[in-house]
């Protein structure tokens, strides 16, 4: 039996094997439509990561005034981007490389810093992050875990930010556990620094200290458990050092690409979830400061490459699902990268189709291929399944299920680097045709020692882990004692 699509593609090169689509030489997204959000999906080995890395590098070159944030769970897109940029020294100067969990070097990213803005904003940001990372605890034990994360945590964090030295350095989240478990320490901190936060001083003295030891332990159990994720030396150095190695504001102002690589923490899920949530929340805190529709704001790209802490944890996934439709006016360009829809939390799975641009490579699950077919292609009621055999007969039309089954089969069996694309020309205009790309654009890779390049980039803004820990160890009870003595009038 003849394959009509084969002859169709020979006679009409612009045609496609998919209905209501046209073929393209290579995968290209419209710049004006990127604020609609973009979803890349495809199983391992289909070429999606290389295609996205190439797209981001081209975007980064074309728009030197726009920031790009890449949150990379597995390290694969990091390698792709750095390989493409390895011999371009001008572009490498605009790269901030952040490898979480490196045993010798760390890019500090404290929870509280004057470089971020208001301390209170970040007290509430951290408290909300902890609650979102443990939705089951908050839901199932609202008067214990819920109260600890919603009420006690902000008070502890406010007290931490009130403890400053002569350089304006505050205590960090790494000291929170010490305050909670050491009654004499928290009492002395409240006495010495409580004048800066009188409502916190009242809470500590009249509420927190009045609980019995067992009650206080129960109410703070969830908070202490979540803070346990930052107790390894490498992470303590990152979270506890006083000066941030980079800030979202700096990256946006200077058009930097910030690559956050979490590959070293794949076996430390709780820590990885905490750190990716922190980075994401810092970026969004800066985006939230924008006035919707301000023409002076430049677009900002945010790439989430299989970041499970943001995509599979219900509390975070719900927020991610609202980004694309709600943040267009703030010029946020969201990219989500998946191997399968099953990687998404249910809340995000229901919201994912609000993303405008869709780039699909071959997927393994047939049900997901069928769902993709329904989302990308419109049903055509005039599609003929069987032609009439006589002049008096009517053609047999293909039902919607039959059409989508055929498309799903084709999606599931696409070849390496073959993809289909639903694209927005602008925020208002959807491309009338789906684009079928037989083979994504070739990339020229060069031999480069990636570990050496990564370490060079890491050292540009990094601090040695041992140096950071040594600096942090100076924050101890003697600091408070000296401050207290200094503040005591001589006649007393």
| φ, ψ (nearest 5 deg) of residue 82 | -65, -30
What pLDDT is recorded for position 342?
A: 92
What pLDDT is recorded for position 393?
A: 58
- Residue 171 CA, distance from chain mean position: 26
* Average pLDDT of the residues of the chain: 87
- Contact (CB, 8 A) for 360 and 411: yes
pLDDT at 15 over 70: no
- The Cα–Cα gap between 76 and 88 comes to 20
CATH 3.40.50.1580 holds for 4-107+245-362+414-437? no
The pLDDT > 90 percentage for the chain reads 65
pLDDT at 308 over 90: no
CA dihedral angle for residue 121, residue 122, residue 125, residue 130, rounded to 10 degrees: -150
Within 23-134, residue ranges assigned H as helices are 48-62, 76-85, 89-92, 119-133
pLDDT at 402 over 90: no
- The Cα–Cα gap between 278 and 112 comes to 11
- Contact (CB, 8 A) for 321 and 347: yes
**Structure token pair of residue 231:** 């107790």
Q: What is the pLDDT of residues 353-390, one digit of tens each?
A: 999 999 999 999 999 999 999 999 876 665 656 566 66
What pLDDT is recorded for position 8?
A: 45
Q: What is the pLDDT of residues 99-133, one digit of tens each?
A: 999 999 999 999 999 999 899 999 999 999 998 88
- The Cα–Cα gap between 47 and 443 comes to 11
H or E element at residue 301: strand 300-305
47: left (phi over 0), alpha (psi -120 to 50) or beta: left
pLDDT at 154 over 80: yes
241: left (phi over 0), alpha (psi -120 to 50) or beta: beta
pLDDT at 136 over 80: no
- Domains in the chain: boundaries: 4-107+245-362+414-437, 119-233
pLDDT at 481 over 60: no
């Amino acid at each position: 039996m003849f394959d009509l699509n084969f002859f169709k593609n020979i006679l009409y090169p612009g045609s496609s094997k998919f209905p209501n689509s046209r073929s393209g030489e290579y995968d290209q997204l419209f710049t004006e439509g990127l604020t609609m959000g973009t979803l890349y999906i495809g199983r391992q080995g289909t070429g999606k990561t290389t295609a996205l890395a190439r797209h981001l590098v081209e975007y980064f070159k074309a728009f030197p005034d726009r920031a790009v944030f890449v949150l990379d769970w597995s390290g694969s897109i990091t390698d792709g981007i750095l390989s493409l940029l390895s011999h371009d020294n001008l572009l490498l100067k605009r790269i901030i490389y952040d490898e979480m969990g490196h045993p010798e070097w760390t890019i500090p990213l404290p929870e509280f810093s004057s470089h971020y803005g208001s301390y209170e904003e970040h007290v509430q940001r951290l408290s909300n992050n902890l609650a979102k990372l443990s939705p089951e605890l908050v839901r199932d034990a609202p008067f214990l875990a819920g109260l600890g994360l919603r009420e006690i945590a902000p008070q502890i964090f406010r007290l931490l930010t009130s403890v400053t030295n002569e350089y304006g350095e505050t205590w960090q989240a790494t000291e929170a556990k010490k305050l909670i478990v050491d009654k004499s320490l928290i009492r002395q901190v409240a006495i010495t620094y409580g004048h800066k936060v009188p409502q916190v001083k009242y809470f500590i003295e009249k509420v927190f200290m009045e609980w019995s030891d067992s009650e206080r332990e129960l109410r703070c159990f969830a908070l202490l458990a979540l803070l346990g994720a930052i107790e390894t030396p490498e992470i303590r150095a990152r979270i506890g050092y006083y000066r941030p190695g980079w800030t979202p504001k700096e990256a946006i102002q200077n058009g930097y690409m910030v690559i956050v690589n979490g590959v070293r923490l794949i076996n430390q899920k709780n820590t990885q979830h905490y750190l990716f949530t922190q980075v994401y929340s810092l970026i969004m805190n800066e985006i939230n400061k924008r006035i919707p529709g301000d023409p002076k704001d430049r677009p900002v790209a945010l790439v989430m490459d299989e970041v499970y802490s943001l995509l599979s944890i219900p509390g975070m996934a719900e927020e991610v699902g609202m980004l694309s439709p709600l943040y267009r006016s703030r010029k946020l360009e969201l990219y989500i990268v998946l191997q399968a829809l099953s990687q998404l939390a249910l809340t995000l799975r229901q919201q994912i189709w609000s993303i405008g641009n869709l780039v699909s490579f071959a997927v393994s699950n047939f049900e997901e291929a069928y769902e993709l077919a329904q989302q990308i292609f419109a049903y055509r009621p005039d599609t003929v399944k069987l032609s009439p055999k006589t002049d008096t007969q009517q053609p047999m039309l293909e039902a919607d299920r039959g059409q989508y089954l055929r498309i799903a089969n084709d999606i599931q069996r696409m070849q390496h680097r073959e993809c289909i694309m639903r694209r927005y020309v602008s925020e208002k205009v959807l491309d009338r045709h789906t684009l079928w790309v037989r083979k994504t654009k070739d990339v020229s890779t060069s031999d480069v020692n990636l570990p050496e390049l990564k370490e060079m980039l890491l050292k540009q803004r990094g601090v040695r882990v041992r140096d950071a820990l040594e600096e942090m160890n100076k924050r101890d009870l003697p600091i408070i004692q000296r401050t207290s003595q200094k503040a005591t009038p001589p006649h007393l």
